[in-house]
């Protein structure tokens, strides 16, 4: 295996804000809640009028799956649930970006392939097998992109014409058309960089898992890194309907026009339960032929997040390499310089303590690198310090989390789909892709490893159990090789 190195700066802490209703409002039954309503039959104007008349401020109408989402006061919920056409009323679920920050460390280096891509054999797929994701779209449902995203990505890699934001404030006012490129959080930019790679200033380019895919940025999380499942459902349905139009038009929606371009949805986000409306949206999208990958979540022993834990979704936990922080047998406090990742990965891979464990009723599929992956992550918006600048704000940061593991697998799915399209059509299904990823993964048959803590410079034993590993560490070359 080969690897190389690149420039980064210090991390900042992700801020997540939540709102709490006042005690007085709750006591009066006037506490507003985000809810969804499942409707029996078509959603007509009469249905919407009755919902509004009974206190629902409508945010979304999802004709495809028979749901209406909106905001209502506590005191109105019972009235809404008693309407003759209402099958079910459910509470919207808040979700969060599944990333963590790294304690003090300021590594530096340069090169093309990073250790995380080397560990899963991405260079082999690019250089020996010839697949880079060309012709495939990956929809990144996240915080969107920072305003200066062109500093990091080639403009033709971002499908700007399809970029959207779904942050509902009222019916038919779901987004500012340009909000997808007005992010100040940076999470979506970092996730995107793992898929298509990124520029380090004008010095050199770091490769991504699938550098020739086209990214569709879909903003479903606020600039705090949090959001709601109704917004996520809106983003999923938008992509599913876009792909449906692509198939019905015979390849006239997404260029090039002479073929059907598959779409992968990548979701580095999650919440504590599976919302019924989110489940319905996922089922609809998979039925249309869209492929869905999602994070296992960062709750460790508490279990997985949703939608990653939902069985039809390809779920991804986070792993690392025991040598990621070692240089000449010492901790590299100021430099990120590594030799090749070993070919024999036995006891070289560890499972992060935060990666969501598979509990009863949950489904963990595979692991991917998610331990301090570097990429563009402006600390305070779109800052442009010179490359020799110290401190913050900066531009390149280490992030760890199942958020970072997920785009590795989304990119591998794109590589698989590129190969699948060589016969002029798409034969693979979501279930088949999941089975290939699982069957070609490297099994993790050990349950502890010694890993350097970059904050202290001391080795620490990391332990995990069988519920943390799924089918093992994903292997890009084996997965692509098994297609067809």
Q: Known catalytic residues?
A: 142, 187, 403
Phi-psi map region of 316: left, alpha, beta (phi>0 left; psi -120 to 50 alpha): beta
Within its chain, how far is the Cα of 248 from the centroid? 28
Q: Give the residue carrying structure tokens 């489904």.
A: 363
User: How far apart are the C-alpha atoms of 326 and 408, rounded to whole Å?
Assistant: 23
Instruction: Please report, to the nearest 10 degrees, the dihedral formed by the alpha carbons of residues 338, 11, 150, 219 taken in order.
Output: 120
- In terms of Cβ atoms closer than 10 Å to its own Cβ (0-12, 13-18, 19+), residue 83 is middle
How many degrees, rounded to 5, is the angle at CA 35 between CA 29 and CA 39?
120
* Residues 325/458, Cβ–Cβ less than 8 Å: no
User: How far apart are the C-alpha atoms of 274 and 297, rounded to whole Å?
Assistant: 13
Output b/e per residue, 161-195; b: 16+ Cβ within 10 A. Answer: ebbbbbbbeebeebbeeebbbbbebbbbbbbbbbb
Q: How many CA atoms, within 13 angstroms, populate the side-chain half-sphere of residue 217? A: 34
Q: 10 Å Cβ neighbour count for 423?
A: 9
- Collapsing DSSP to helix, strand or coil, 276 comes out as helix
The CA-to-CA distance between both ends of the chain, in Å, stands at 25
- Collapsing DSSP to helix, strand or coil, 61 comes out as strand
Q: Give the residue carrying structure tokens 């803590």.
A: 453
Integer-rounded Cα radius of gyration of the chain:
22
User: How far apart are the C-alpha atoms of 155 and 134, rounded to whole Å?
Assistant: 15
Among 197, 195, 139, 134, smallest CA distance to 163 is for: 139
């Amino acid at each position: 295996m080969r690897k190389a190195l690149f420039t980064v700066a210090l991390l900042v802490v992700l801020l997540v804000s939540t709102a709490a209703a006042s005690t007085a409002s709750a006591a009066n039954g006037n506490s507003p809640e985000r809810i969804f309503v499942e409707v029996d039959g078509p959603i007509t104007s009469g249905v919407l009028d009755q919902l509004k008349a009974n206190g629902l401020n409508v945010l979304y109408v999802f004709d495809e799956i028979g749901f209406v989402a909106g905001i209502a006061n506590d005191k109105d919920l019972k009235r809404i649930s008693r309407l003759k056409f209402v099958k079910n009323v459910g509470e919207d679920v808040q979700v969060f970006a599944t990333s963590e920050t790294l304690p003090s460390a300021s590594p530096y280096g340069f090169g093309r392939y990073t250790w995380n891509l080397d560990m899963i054999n991405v260079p082999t797929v690019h250089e020996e097998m010839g697949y880079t994701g060309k012709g495939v779209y990956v929809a990144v449902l996240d915080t969107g992109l920072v305003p200066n995203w062109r500093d990091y990505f080639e403009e033709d890699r971002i499908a700007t014409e399809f970029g959207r934001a779904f942050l509902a404030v009222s019916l038919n006012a779901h987004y500012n058309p340009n909000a997808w490129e007005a992010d100040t959080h940076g999470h979506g930019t970092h996730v995107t960089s793992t898929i298509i790679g990124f520029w380090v200033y004008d010095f050199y380019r770091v490769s991504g898992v699938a550098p020739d895919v086209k990214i569709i940025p879909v903003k479903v999380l606020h600039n705090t890194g949090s959001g709601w499942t109704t917004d996520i459902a809106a983003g999923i349905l938008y992509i599913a309907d876009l792909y449906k139009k692509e198939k019905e038009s015979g390849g006239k929606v997404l260029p090039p026009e002479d073929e059907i371009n598959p779409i992968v949805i990548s979701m580095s986000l999650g919440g504590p339960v599976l919302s019924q409306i989110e489940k319905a949206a996922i089922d609809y999208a998979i039925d249309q032929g869209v492929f869905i990958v999602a994070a296992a979540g960062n709750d460790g022993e508490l279990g997985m997040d949703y939608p990653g834990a939902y069985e039809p979704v390809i779920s991804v936990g986070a792993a690392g390499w025991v040598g990621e922080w070692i240089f000449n047998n010492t901790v590299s406090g100021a430099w990120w310089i590594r030799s090749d990742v070993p070919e024999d990965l036995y006891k070289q891979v560890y499972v992060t303590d935060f990666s969501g464990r598979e509990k009863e009723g949950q489904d963990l599929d595979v692991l991917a690198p998610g331990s301090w992956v570097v990429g563009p992550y402006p600390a305070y918006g779109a800052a442009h310090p010179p490359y020799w600048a110290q401190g913050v704000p900066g531009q390149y940061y280490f992030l760890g989390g199942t958020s970072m593991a997920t785009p590795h697998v989304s990119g591998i799915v794109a590589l698989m789909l590129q190969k699948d399209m060589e016969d002029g059509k798409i034969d693979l299904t979501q279930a088949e892709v999941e089975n290939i990823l699982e069957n070609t993964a490297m099994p993790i048959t050990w349950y502890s490893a010694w890993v350097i803590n970059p904050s202290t410079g001391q080795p620490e034993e990391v332990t995990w159990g069988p519920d943390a590993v799924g089918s093992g560490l994903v292997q890009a070359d084996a997965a692509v090789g098994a297609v067809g």
